[in-house]
Amino acid sequence: MTTVSVFGGTGFLGRRLVRRLAGEGASVRVAVRSPERARNVLPDPDHVQVLRADVRDPASVAAAVAGADAVVNAVSAYVEKAGVSFESVHVQGARTLAQEAFAAGVARLVLVSGIGADPESASPYIRARGRGELAARQAFPGATVVRPGAMFGPGDALFGALADIVRLSPVVPLIGGGRTRVQPVYVEDVAEAIARVLAERGSAGQTYELAGPGAYTLRELVGFVLRLRGADSDDRRLEILDLAGLAANAQQPARLLSGGEQQRLALARALATEPEVLFLDEPTSSLDPGSVAIIEDMVKSIHAGGTKVLFVTHDIGQARRLADEVLFIHRGQVVEHTPVARFFDNPDSRPAQDYLAGRIVR
């Protein structure tokens, strides 16, 4: 039976590779910093063993690769934080693992890098990936490098992250104007490719770039997510802009809108997310009467559609026009929570009585 040590075996790609190798009959060692987490995310077949190891600790790496036929380095750090840097994980860690695997007489080493890895890149992450490839091959000349593109699948950091942004934010940032191109690849296909690489002796020393069949701009990917959520139809956009009184400005850059128009656009963006709760803090402050009227009509429409609206205002007339309930806050505490008619006709608290009478509230 083949024994494979997989470092980073609980990650997005790693855990799928572990399942595939175990399913094919290999004896798999999952080498991770947190064995407790591994037991929660991995299956528990007879062929999987979980070991505590850290690519920054040579002794733990040596123990995890001893007696293995093959080793896969699927460790990844996308963000630097205390004690974890691109240099320590992707360069020094890759070198340490390759050195220990070579010293242990391991037959095959696969390093999972990233598409576009370049030791001369201006990007710290991409540069570290490129330097890590060089370090691994210096220590283990027959190492195979696999460079997947942006991977997608359940729980991914690509479409999943975009979907969360679309769901939670009225604005979707488009890095580089949305023109950045990616070629997403299905994570299960990457796991299968690595399994095939391990089974094919002729793949030793090779570099494989793995990408899906289509290349897309970031703008196109965001549009795809929006369409899945039903928020990207022209009719829906025009409906929301018309509600905001901005249908005639549909092709106009937002920076050229007036202050009142920009405020209405911000509310329209929030409306597009179909929120369950909408918090508005003085949304009509310092606006012209026309914009105030339009925003109040939008708020009524949003509320009629089932959204709970929390509207902060110091305008008594506005509260009368819009509110069903009133929460009166004084010195940071809610001193009154009552239906709107009762609040204006017979307020319970002294601060509310003073406020409605036009007296200074102390």
Question: Using CA of residue 336, residue 294, residue 174, residue 155, what is the dihedral sign?
Answer: positive
The CATH number that applies at residue 100 is: 3.40.50.720
Residue 74 in domain: yes
User: Identity (one letter) of the amino acid at 307?
Assistant: T
Asked whether the beta carbons of 103 and 144 are under 8 A apart, the reply is no
Would you say residue 195 has pLDDT above 90?
Answer: yes
Burial of 46 (0-12, 13-18, 19+ CB in 10 A): exposed
Burial of 246 (0-12, 13-18, 19+ CB in 10 A): buried
Q: What's the pLDDT at 250?
A: 78
Q: Are residues 261 and 188 in the same domain?
A: no
Tokens of 239: 């409906």
Q: Give Dmax over CA atoms of the chain in angstroms.
A: 88
Q: What is the pLDDT of residues 309-341, one digit of tens each?
A: 999 999 999 999 999 999 999 999 999 999 999
Q: Are residues 137 and 275 in the same domain?
A: no
Give the list of residues 6+ apart from residue 76 with CB closer than 8 angstroms, or none: 8, 11, 13, 89, 90, 112
Q: How many domains does the chain have?
A: 2
Burial of 40 (0-12, 13-18, 19+ CB in 10 A): exposed
Asked whether the beta carbons of 205 and 141 are under 8 A apart, the reply is yes
Residue 162 in domain: no
Q: Are residues 299 and 207 in the same domain?
A: no
Question: In terms of residue numbers, what domain contains 24?
Answer: 3-152+183-214
Q: What's the pLDDT at 44?
A: 62
Q: Are residues 207 and 240 in the same domain?
A: no
Find the helix or strand (DSSP H, E) in which 266 lies: helix 259-272
Q: What is the pLDDT of residues 22-61, one digit of tens each?
A: 999 999 999 998 887 777 777 665 678 899 999 999 999 9
Q: What is the pLDDT of residues 162-192, one digit of tens each?
A: 777 766 665 666 777 778 888 999 999 999 9
User: Identity (one letter) of the amino acid at 92?
Assistant: Q
Q: What is the pLDDT of residues 237-288, one digit of tens each?
A: 777 888 888 888 877 887 888 888 888 888 888 877 778 899 999 999 888 8
Q: Are residues 63 and 205 in the same domain?
A: yes
Q: Are residues 138 and 90 in the same domain?
A: yes
Q: What is the pTM of this model?
A: 0.67
Q: Which residues are paired to 309 by β-bridges?
A: 278
Residue 345 in domain: no
Asked whether the beta carbons of 64 and 46 are under 8 A apart, the reply is no
Q: What's the pLDDT at 119?
A: 95
Residue 359 in domain: no
Q: Are residues 133 and 256 in the same domain?
A: no
Tokens of 111: 């390093």
pLDDT tier, 91 (very low <50, low <70, confident <90, very high otherwise): very high
Residue 244 in domain: yes
Q: Are residues 118 and 67 in the same domain?
A: yes
Count of CB atoms within 10 A of residue 106's CB?
23
Q: Are residues 210 and 267 in the same domain?
A: no
Tokens of 183: 């070629």
User: How many CA atoms, within 13 angstroms, populate the side-chain half-sphere of residue 128?
Assistant: 20
Mean pLDDT rounded to a whole number for the chain: 88
Would you say residue 199 has pLDDT above 60?
Answer: yes
Q: Are residues 106 and 46 in the same domain?
A: yes
Asked whether the beta carbons of 13 and 191 are under 8 A apart, the reply is yes
Q: Are residues 209 and 245 in the same domain?
A: no
Q: Are residues 141 and 44 in the same domain?
A: yes
Q: What's the pLDDT at 155?
A: 81
Residue 177 in domain: no
Asked whether the beta carbons of 109 and 101 are under 8 A apart, the reply is yes
Q: What's the pLDDT at 234?
A: 60
Give the list of residues 6+ apart from residue 46 with CB closer than 8 angstroms, or none: none
Burial of 81 (0-12, 13-18, 19+ CB in 10 A): exposed
Burial of 331 (0-12, 13-18, 19+ CB in 10 A): exposed
The CATH number that applies at residue 267 is: 3.40.50.300
